[in-house]
């Protein structure tokens, strides 16, 4: 079997409008390297014609492999599956929506050949995104960086190249609530950046609405920082101390002055405020407990229903379960 130099991992979910263009641009870029490569499309439970299009492409192009999940497991899990199947000396992760230009892969390869083992793409500009999305993304990256001891580069996504040795280390990390870009930073090795301007989506709608962005943010923070738990301790101590001081004040008014303790409305407001704080802190603790629960169940990260490639003539392979 011919040795593979580059593996390109492309997670896909309902990308029928853009997938042909994505394939063509990636193929043109990788052909220009004049080295052996593979395009690993990981279908994360698409409900449109994405799979059918990729099956047809895989029959005419031997560099294509389609990994078809049994259902939607999530973008970060799809990237993980791609790394499990990748065979190349260098592995590139890129989304199918063409916001990240495939042509930048050539710059990443140049950096890799200079000796860097991780080359991540850093955004200098985000086209076609709302002011809210830009500001919340900037806030998240800076908050995450300030809360962890891991140097997670700001303004970066999952678009990056990793060396084979980094990929092997990533395959050994099996936590369920995954934040891949954080895990890549955690494993270390020599890392550098290439800068670019992020384009608008070529077609279709974003696959990361606010709800999914919030989940990804929580996964990133809880996977690499326990400071929210320390915050709960600090807040509890602060409010307990404030309550004790207020109690001394009330006792002083009762026993050493003739003033009547008034202000039941303010007491109710204070009680409601403290109750809200307690519930928020319990929610923070619950997030960590929920992740412990997920890890303890021991379920596989994903289930592969089919794998399609020219070698298999588009036939169904035995169902595969991966932990």
Asked if residues 148 and 75 have their Cβ atoms less than 8 Å apart, the reply is no
pLDDT at 106: 93
Report the percentage of the chain scoring pLDDT > 90.
Answer: 23
CA distance 174 to 163: 19
Percent of the chain with pLDDT over 70: 64
Residues in Cβ contact with 249 at an 8 Å cutoff, skipping those fewer than 6 apart: none
Between strands 6-12 and 90-93, the pairing is parallel
Average of per-residue pLDDT across 130-158: 68
Write the DSSP assignment of 78-125 as a string of letters.
HHHHHHHH--SSEEEE--TTSSS-TTHHHHHHHHHHTT-SEEEEEEEE
The reported pLDDT for the residue numbered 214 is 67
Residue 82 pLDDT exceeds 60: yes
Q: Does residue 161 register a pLDDT over 80?
A: yes
Which 8-state DSSP code applies to residue 47? -
The confidence score (pLDDT) of residue 317 equals 44
Whether 319 has a pLDDT exceeding 50, the answer reads: no
3-state secondary structure of 3: coil
Residue with the larger pLDDT of the pair 311 and 256: 256
**Of 122-126, 166-170, 212-216, the least confident:** 212-216
CB 294, CB 52: distance < 8 Å:
no
Mean pLDDT across the stretch 49-77? 89
Q: What is the pTM of this model?
A: 0.69
Determine the pLDDT at residue 135: 67
Strands of 191-198's sheet, edge to edge? Answer: 191-198, 118-126, 156-163, 90-93, 6-12, 37-43, 64-69, 302-309, 320-322
Average pLDDT of the chain, as a whole number? 78
Choice between 188 and 90, residue whose per-residue pLDDT is larger? 90
């Amino acid at each position: 079997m011919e040795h593979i130099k580059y593996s390109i991992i492309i997670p896909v979910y309902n990308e029928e409008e853009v997938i042909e263009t994505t394939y063509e641009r990636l193929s043109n870029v990788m052909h220009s390297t004049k080295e052996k490569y593979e395009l690993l499309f990981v279908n994360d439970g698409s409900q449109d014609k994405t799979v059918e299009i990729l099956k047809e492409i895989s029959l005419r192009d031997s560099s294509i492999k389609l990994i078809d999940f049994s259902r939607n497991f999530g973008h970060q899990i799809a990237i993980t599956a791609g790394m499990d199947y990748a065979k190349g000396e260098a592995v590139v992760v890129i989304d199918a929506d063409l916001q990240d230009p495939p042509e930048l892969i050539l710059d990443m390869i140049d950096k890799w050949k200079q000796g860097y083992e991780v080359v991540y793409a850093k955004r200098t500009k985000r086209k076609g995104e709302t002011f809210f999305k830009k500001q919340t993304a900037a806030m998240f990256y800076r908050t995450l960086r300030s809360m962890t001891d891991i140097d997670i580069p700001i303004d970066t996504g999952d678009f990056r190249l990793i060396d084979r040795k980094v990929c092997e280390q990533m395959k050994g990390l099996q936590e369920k609530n995954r934040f891949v870009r954080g895990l890549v930073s955690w494993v270390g090795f020599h890392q550098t950046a290439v800068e670019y301007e992020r384009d608008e989506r070529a077609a279709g709608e974003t696959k990361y609405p606010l709800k999914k962005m919030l989940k990804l943010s929580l996964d990133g923070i809880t996977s690499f920082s326990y400071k929210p738990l320390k915050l709960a301790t600090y807040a509890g101590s602060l409010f307990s101390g404030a309550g004790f001081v207020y109690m001394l004040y009330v006792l002083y008014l009762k026993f050493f002055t003739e003033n009547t303790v008034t202000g039941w409305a303010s007491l109710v407001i204070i009680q409601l405020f403290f109750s809200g704080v307690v519930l928020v802190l319990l929610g923070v603790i619950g997030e960590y407990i929920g992740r412990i629960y997920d890890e303890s169940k021991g379920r596989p990260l994903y289930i592969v229903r089919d794998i399609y490639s020219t070698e298999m003539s588009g036939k169904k392979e035995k169902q595969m379960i991966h932990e």
